[in-house]
Amino acid sequence: MTELDKDLLETAEELDDAEDALEEEDGLDADEELEEFDPFADLSDDELDALVESQGGVGAELGLVAGDTPEGFRSGFVALVGRPNAGKSTLLNACMGTKVAITSPVAQTTRRRMRAVVDRDEFQLVFVDTPGIHKPKDGLGSELNRSALAELSDVDVVAFLIDASVPIGRGDAWVAERVAASSAVKVLVLTKADKVDQTKMIKQIEEARKLVDFDDVIVVSSTEGFNVEPFIQLVADYLPQGPRWYPKGMDTDTDDATLVAEFVREKVLLRTREEVPHSVGVVCDSFESTSKLVRVHATVYVEREGQKGILIGRKGEMIKHIGTDARHDLERLFGRKVYLELAVRVKQGWRDDVNEIRRMGYAFEE
């Protein structure tokens, strides 16, 4: 948990206490009380916008934008795109120096768009991790594609990741067509350099260059830490001048409940096989935190009874292992004891139900 999260948590706890005290004092519901005292309640949306503008914008008020950024400061958004399994989340974690995104050998591990911030004295670079772009086979696939493709039109740099260790195929060409249409700076990132020799690497770069007119090329190995910092510097050089979009010290825009759901899903992906990983969705139902303990309840959804049986395992062994694995990671993340309760439920056909996909947080209304 970041310092910012801790501060927010403390503030939230203080607010809760204050609200309780208020309720006790005069028997009023604190929310009603606050509503009554809203000084802007009578303003129209336009009037409110004008007021915010005249105050230098909400961001300025919150210290989110930089009056204090030095001359020449650069900032911007960089989308990591590529076909499933190209190594996007692993590169993101390497750039951040800590695990912010889950990874696994299962294609389509990433289902959420995540922003992760690299903040330096001279620049602020916001990485946008996207689901692997692929030809969709179901409703979930279509939603994942839609959310990944939407990023291409909204970023300053597109980093197109291609796995150096597998031949370039139709999957890469499909992504390339979409990347080529973006007006952002395009950087080719050859991943998994540790798995191939130089000759193969050069050939792969030649093949990739036939797909897109790249502005730059870099070869990396995220697992070996090779060229990770040079990659950050390379994309930072392409960022336009601009303010800090996020406050210093904020690593990601992912909330704690989402991290819990994602870490549990990663453990399911690592421990199950065949169709089970793709059928799994995880929702964190409750998240309570004190200074000593985090208490969470999450539900693992699958599509069929048989999958539920596999996940629970003989005498509940499988779900117990998944819980233990996830708990270890979460305790490291939150720096506190974690009490994690998991339930397994069947929700038939959820991957073809756009409302369910959104409820689980794997796609967004644009």
Ligand X SMILES: Nc1nc2c(ncn2[C@@H]2O[C@H](COP(=O)(O)OP(=O)(O)OP(=O)(O)O)[C@@H](O)[C@H]2O)c(=O)[nH]1
Which range in 187-195, 209-217, 271-279, 290-298 contacts ligand X by CB under 6 A? 187-195
Minimal distance, residue 301 CB to ligand X, in Å: 19
* Pick 103 or 258: Cβ nearer ligand X: 103
By CB under 6 A, tell whether 105 contacts ligand X: yes
Asked if 191 interacts with ligand X (CB under 6 A), we say: yes
Helix residue ranges per DSSP H, the chain: 3-26, 30-36, 45-54, 57-62, 88-96, 139-152, 170-180, 198-211, 228-237, 256-271, 276-279, 305-312, 317-334, 354-359
Site string for ligand X, 286-325 (x = CB under 6 A): ----------------------------------------
Residue with tokens 């105050």: 55
130-149 residues near ligand X, rule: CB under 6 A? 131-132
DSSP strand pairing (123-129 vs 114-119): antiparallel
Stretch that binds ligand X, among 22-30, 87-95, 241-249, 253-261 (CB under 6 A): 87-95
C-alpha–C-alpha distance, residues 53 and 48, integer Å: 9
Name the token pair of 356. Answer: 């369910």
Pick the closer one to ligand X by CB: 120 or 135.
135
Residue 56, SS3 per DSSP: coil
Side-by-side strand order, sheet with 337-346: 281-289, 293-302, 337-346
Those residues whose C-beta lies under 8 Å from the C-beta of residue 88, and which sit 6 or more positions away, are 80, 81, 82, 110, 129, 130, 132, 161
Instruction: In angstroms, give the least distance from the CB of 306 to ligand X.
Output: 24
Rounded Cα distance, 248 and 339, in Å = 30
Q: Which is nearer to ligand X, 191 or 258 (CB)?
A: 191
Please tell me whether residue 150 adopts helix, strand or coil conformation. Answer: helix
Task: Tell me which stretch binds ligand X (CB under 6 A): 78-86, 235-243, 248-256, 309-317.
Answer: 78-86
Q: Which stretch binds ligand X (CB under 6 A): 68-76, 118-126, 220-228, 342-350?
A: 220-228
Instruction: Specify the residue, 98 or 183, whose C-beta has the smaller distance to ligand X.
Output: 98
- What CA–CA distances, in Å, run from 84 to 109, 112, 340? 8, 13, 30
For ligand X, the binding residue among 77, 78, 79, 110 (CB under 6 A) is 110
Helix (H, G, I), strand (E, B) or coil at 113: coil
Residue 85 contacts ligand X per CB under 6 A: yes
Which of the stretches 79-87, 290-298, 313-321, 338-346 binds ligand X when contact is defined by CB under 6 A? 79-87
Decide: 117 and 251 in contact? Cβ < 8 Å.
yes
Nearest to 158 by CA among 239, 246, 241: 239
Of the candidate spans 189-197, 287-295, 312-320, 346-354, the one that interacts with ligand X by CB under 6 A turns out to be 189-197
For residues 314 and 305, what is the distance between their CA atoms, to the nearest angstrom?
A: 14
Q: Which residue lies nearer to ligand X by CB, 105 or 335?
A: 105
Q: Given candidates 78, 86, 179, 284, which one binds ligand X under the rule CB under 6 A?
A: 86
Position 277 contacts ligand X (CB under 6 A): no
Of 107, 205, 234, 346, the residue at the interface with ligand X (CB under 6 A) is: 107
Q: Which is nearer to ligand X, 74 or 88 (CB)?
A: 88
CA distance 300 to 340: 12
Q: Which residue is nearest to ligand X (CB)?
A: 132
Minimum Å distance from CB 165 to ligand X? 7
User: Taking the complex as a whole, how short is the minimal distance between the CB of residue 127 and ligand X, in angstroms?
Assistant: 12
Binding site for ligand X (CB under 6 A): 82, 84-90, 103-105, 107-110, 131-132, 191-192, 194-195, 221-223
